[in-house]
Amino acid sequence: MTGFIVIVLGGLLSFAMWTIIISAILSWLVAFNVINTRNPGVYRILDMLDRLTYPILEPFRRIIPNLGGIDISPIIAILIIQGLQHLLRNVVAPNLYMLIG
């Protein structure tokens, strides 16, 4: 049971990290006019990614000042997610195994 909990939490953190990375790359492609947001399929994908990443990135955007149009909140969010993954693997998982068995 504990292995399942650790795998699910690790998977959710990995999903959040990859969603942020894909969203950032697609935002660059839109900014450089490589992909067109008038395409309904592209618009739906971008909208879905924005809805998934907004709750994660918004607290960082409120704290981090604007750096001349450069948004570094995805970088900070990814670093924190990786820290949480490390904490989950090395601290939480062994203690959870000892507690539950």
pLDDT at 88: 93
> 41: domain range?
2-100
How many domains does the structure of the chain reveal?
1
pTM of the model: 0.89
Q: DSSP letter for 71, please.
A: -
Could you give the 3-state DSSP secondary structure of residue 70?
coil
Q: Give 57-100 pLDDT, tens digit per residue.
A: 999 999 998 788 888 999 999 999 999 999 999 999 898 888 88
Q: Which pLDDT value is given to residue 101?
A: 67
3-class state of residue 30 by DSSP: helix
Six-digit token pair at 87?
Answer: 């904490």
- Give the N- to C-terminal CA distance of the chain in Å, as an integer: 9
